[in-house]
Amino acid sequence: MNCFNTTEEKQVEESKETKNPHLDLVDRGISKLIDIPGLFMLEHLVRLTMSHNKIDVLPAHIVELKNLESLNLFNNHIEELPTNMSSMPKLRQLNLG
Summary mean pLDDT of the chain: 92
DSSP E strands, 1-97? 22-24, 47-49, 70-72, 93-95
**pTM of the predicted structure, to 2 decimals:** 0.91
Q: What's the pLDDT at 82?
A: 95
Sign of the torsion formed by the C-alpha atoms of 64, 10, 72 and 58: negative
* Average pLDDT for 16-29: 96
Per-residue pLDDT, 5: 56
Instruction: Write the pLDDT tens digit of every residue in 59-87.
Output: 999 999 999 999 999 999 999 999 999 99
Quick one: DSSP state of residue 62?
Answer: G
Under DSSP, the state recorded for 88 is: -
pLDDT at 96 over 90: yes
What is d(CA 43, CA 75) in angstroms, rounded to the nearest whole number?
25
User: Is the CB of residue 71 less than 8 Å from the CB of residue 93?
Assistant: yes
